[in-house]
Chains A and B, each alone.
Chain A
Amino acid sequence: MWSGKHVIDHWGQQVVSQNIQYTGNGKLRHFLSIDGLRKETLEQILVTAEKFTQFGQRDIKKLPLLRGHTVVNLFFENSSRTRTTFEIAAKRLSADVINLNPTTSSTSKGETLLDTVNILEAMHTDLFVIRHAKSGVAELIAAHVPDHVHIINAGDGQHAHPTQAMLDMFTIQQYKGPFHKLRVAIVGDILHSRVARSQIHALNTLGAHEIRVVAPNSLLPAQIERLGVHSYTDLSQGLDGVDVVMMLRLQKERMHNAYLPSEQEYFNLYGLTTESLAAAADDAIVMHPGPINRGLEISSEVADGPRSVILPQVTNGIAIRMAVMAMILGGESNG
């Protein structure tokens, strides 16, 4: 695993090998990437989320844990689903929430990015949930904020989407039990997927028995095996005997820059249908981070079928995001 990240200030003044996701005493400070987090942290997130799930079923769904804190949803890239679940999660913990979608004119230049964060930080906000189209932006911002400001990565480029991966882990645990027995296949556009990268790190950290990635070679990133997975170009071999099938969304524009020939050919070879799912274990579950392209990566029959846990994934997203926020801000004075 990736042990310890280099924290290098932008002018290279200080080069310390440490993990910026933790405070000096080991508390979760930022949530940027599963890569670099300890197994205990992931387990604690799952346990905490479990408590919040039970609580979500009550009539009054508010807890005072984050009262007085302000959470800023800073989405440089649009996503109504992820933003909404973060907003609901923060509100259930009694935080004040501000949603900002800086226009695309706010480029990925650090100057502008950090200006935006500094201005909001000057208004005494303390938790930023950030989504950005460029890999590494959450890390960049986290490396430049004062100690009392926290960053949660809600997806950066093709790098990481750690809360999505954790809600997937939560769902897997809910339906399939302990990780050490499980074979998991991740199917689709691995190359461009931040979700897949975070899922791979989470599954490895939690000790899954086997992780497979399934895609044509044009959608598999270089040396993906080094991340601790087996790669397959054949769907039925890749799905053979697996307990969990995690589908990825395929961007339709991939056809236009020669990653793939056509939607039909992709669906025929890699689409999850009742027939192709037959290769997996009889009780295998089917997951998808959404939004779904029906008839492109998955058939409606499977997406809406009995093995699908796609809707529970969405529900679990709230508990996971509550858990992460509570672990980061919980117990901190809200002055």
Chain B
Amino acid sequence: MAEASNIHIRGGRIIDPQNNVDSVDDLFISQGRIVATGKVPDGFTADETIDAENQVVCAGLVDLSVRMREPGLEYKATLKSESAAAAAGGITTCCCPPDTKPIIDTPAMANMLTHRGVEIGLTQVLPVGALTTELGGVMLSDMFALSQAGCVAFSNADTPITNTLVIRRAMEYASSFDLLVILHANDPWLTDDGCMHEGEISTRLGLSGIPEASETAIIARDLALIEQTGVKAHFARISCARSVDLIVQARERGLKVTADVAIHHLHLTDFDVGSFNSLCRVMPPLRSERDKDRLRQAVAAGEIQAICSDHQPHEKDAKLAAFSEAEPGISGLETLLPLGLKLVDEDIIDMNTLISSLTSGPASVLGISAGDLGPGKQADVCIFDPESEYLLDSSKFLSRGRNTPFQNWPLRGRVSHTIHAGRLVYSVK
């Protein structure tokens, strides 16, 4: 890894929605910070010059959900392997859900992850603290201490809190310190042993379905509690058209609530499960075509503020099982940007909206200083060639998880350089 130095990025199309910038220009980095765009600053001598002609220069991507698998599940992946994958995907900030082993419910765990992230130095690792201790849904975690130790938000990850009173108290407590609560809407009773979207395909395959109400009923309930408590809340990985409608209506009523979607929900539906393709087993499940279309529209309209990879690397055996027994999740760090660019190619969203939902959008959800190329900001930069075409080959992933349903998809757009904190952490071979 190169040391922080003076970097001159020449002739790229700089897209910085945070500052309303979209122009071909030069970008200058010094001492780990953005120093200027356009003209060479006084006294600047480049240690390194990157030719970005015909490429896009944007802020490093901010990913709201990345399972690093460390600590506890190192047989799947490690902080080191997944940080390298993040850098290769242009992602310079990774939020890690609290369901590591041990769980992120102590300041020591939060500190450890943050520091390991800094030590590895390829991407920023931001822990999300557990909302309840051991994700048990009974006792509140030491949220304030956890936030002091670097937790950017609090969630119960994929473990639903069944006691509504506990959710209310957690929201009330978090709101006292203006802490962000991330909600995963999933009714455990309605989901039961469900493993895919309830519909024609689950009926054909004889697989237990997860009804839409499993998500929408919980969103409706949580919105009522958000309204009651005034907490700053964010819905993670919504998958249904009606969920979008509920959230949009709530925002119109003035609620401080945001939402994100996983990139695969913008490309795949339950139909892609085909004949028990366990690579398409994800939670929440891939929904219908109508849901996919509404989610796409919501991203285009800014009703959904962020797109994330929902990265979940797995070892081979995790997917080599009966569909219902296969572990859910997709290895997504290295496909987040190209799958996003595919939406631009298909005229679903424009380039600026895409970049914003991958950078400034998620950064503002978290209330952190990232996803911004303004002078003085930390130099987290992603440079990509939007025209480079290839067939996706997961065997080339830097992630230890090769579990992707997008194998052999024709993709366009490849990261050429990633700069994190002023250091070049990835460049294409």
Main secondary structure of the interface of A (DSSP, over half): mixed
Q: Are B322 and A5 in contact, with the CB atoms below 8 A?
A: no
Selecting from A82-90, A162-170, A221-229, A321-329, the interface stretch reads: A221-229
User: By the criterion of a CB under 8 Å from any partner CB, how many residues of chain B are at the interface?
Assistant: 35
Q: What's the minimum C-beta distance from B258 to chain A, rounded to whole angstroms?
A: 31
Partner of A135 from the list B199, B200, B279, B324 (CB cut-off 8 Å) is: B324
B residues 170-210 touching A (CB-CB < 8 Å)? 198-200, 202-209
Q: Are B322 and A110 in contact, with the CB atoms below 8 A?
A: yes
B278 at the interface (CB under 8 A from A): yes
Chain A contacts of B199 at CB under 8 A?
Answer: 222-223
Q: Are A135 and B323 in contact, with the CB atoms below 8 A?
A: yes
The 7 A-B residue pairs with the shortest CB-CB distance, nearest first, are A110-B320, A158-B206, A159-B206, A12-B407, A134-B322, A136-B276, A6-B274
User: By the criterion of a CB under 8 Å from any partner CB, how many residues of chain A are at the interface?
Assistant: 38
B20 at the interface (CB under 8 A from A): no
Partner of B275 from the list A6, A137, A223 (CB cut-off 8 Å) is: A6
The answer for the CA separation of A224 and B203 in the assembled complex, in Å, is 7
Q: What's the minimum C-beta distance from A32 to chain B, rounded to whole angstroms?
A: 9
B252 at the interface (CB under 8 A from A): no
Q: Are B319 and A139 in contact, with the CB atoms below 8 A?
A: no
Known: A110-B321, A135-B276, A158-B208. 19 other contacts (CB 8 A): A8-B277, A10-B278, A10-B320, A11-B403, A108-B325, A110-B317, A110-B319, A111-B317, A113-B321, A134-B323, A134-B324, A136-B276, A136-B322, A136-B324, A140-B276, A140-B320, A157-B207, A226-B200, A227-B200
The answer for the CA separation of A70 and B85 in the assembled complex, in Å, is 48
B404 at the interface (CB under 8 A from A): yes
The answer for the CA separation of A195 and B341 in the assembled complex, in Å, is 45
Q: Are A5 and B275 in contact, with the CB atoms below 8 A?
A: yes
Chain A contacts of B323 at CB under 8 A?
Answer: 134-136
Chain B contacts of A156 at CB under 8 A?
Answer: 206
Partner of A222 from the list B209, B322, B394, B404 (CB cut-off 8 Å) is: B209
A residues 219-242 touching B (CB-CB < 8 Å)? 221-224, 226-227
Q: Are A11 and B316 in contact, with the CB atoms below 8 A?
A: yes
Chain A interface (Cβ < 8 Å from any Cβ of B): 2, 5-8, 10-13, 15, 35, 107-111, 113-114, 132, 134-137, 139-140, 156-160, 194, 197, 221-224, 226-227
Q: Are B402 and A157 in contact, with the CB atoms below 8 A?
A: no
Chain B interface (Cβ < 8 Å from any Cβ of A): 198-200, 202-209, 211, 274-279, 316-317, 319-326, 394, 402-405, 407-408
The answer for the CA separation of A191 and B274 in the assembled complex, in Å, is 20
Q: Are A139 and B206 in contact, with the CB atoms below 8 A?
A: no
| Nearest B residue to A137, CB-CB | B322
Q: What's the minimum C-beta distance from B196 to chain A, rounded to whole angstroms?
A: 10
The answer for the CA separation of A132 and B320 in the assembled complex, in Å, is 16
Q: What's the minimum C-beta distance from A138 to chain B, rounded to whole angstroms?
A: 10
The answer for the CA separation of A140 and B205 in the assembled complex, in Å, is 13
Q: Are A160 and B206 in contact, with the CB atoms below 8 A?
A: yes
Chain B contacts of A160 at CB under 8 A?
Answer: 206
Chain B contacts of A227 at CB under 8 A?
Answer: 200, 203-204
Partner of A139 from the list B275, B316, B404, B407 (CB cut-off 8 Å) is: B275
Chain A contacts of B205 at CB under 8 A?
Answer: 135-136, 159
Q: Are B320 and A222 in contact, with the CB atoms below 8 A?
A: no
Chain A contacts of B207 at CB under 8 A?
Answer: 135-136, 157-159
| Nearest B residue to A32, CB-CB | B275
| B277, B279, B316 interface centre (most CB from chain A within 10 Å) | B277
Q: What's the minimum C-beta distance from B279 to chain A, rounded to whole angstroms?
A: 5
Chain A contacts of B206 at CB under 8 A?
Answer: 135, 156-160, 194, 197
Q: What's the minimum C-beta distance from B180 to chain A, rounded to whole angstroms?
A: 35
| Nearest A residue to B404, CB-CB | A12
Q: What's the minimum C-beta distance from B278 to chain A, rounded to whole angstroms?
A: 7
Chain B contacts of A137 at CB under 8 A?
Answer: 322
Q: What's the minimum C-beta distance from B50 to chain A, rounded to whole angstroms?
A: 33
Chain A contacts of B279 at CB under 8 A?
Answer: 8, 12
Q: Are B274 and A12 in contact, with the CB atoms below 8 A?
A: no
Chain B contacts of A222 at CB under 8 A?
Answer: 198-200, 202-203, 209, 211
Q: What's the minimum C-beta distance from A136 to chain B, rounded to whole angstroms?
A: 4
Chain A contacts of B198 at CB under 8 A?
Answer: 222
Chain B contacts of A135 at CB under 8 A?
Answer: 205-207, 276, 322-324
Partner of B325 from the list A6, A12, A107 (CB cut-off 8 Å) is: A107
Q: Are A15 and B407 in contact, with the CB atoms below 8 A?
A: yes
Chain B contacts of A132 at CB under 8 A?
Answer: 322
Chain A contacts of B277 at CB under 8 A?
Answer: 6, 8
Q: Are A221 and B202 in contact, with the CB atoms below 8 A?
A: yes
| Nearest A residue to B211, CB-CB | A222
| B277, B319, B322 interface centre (most CB from chain A within 10 Å) | B322
Q: Are A109 and B325 in contact, with the CB atoms below 8 A?
A: yes
Q: Are A108 and B405 in contact, with the CB atoms below 8 A?
A: no
Chain B contacts of A223 at CB under 8 A?
Answer: 199-200, 203
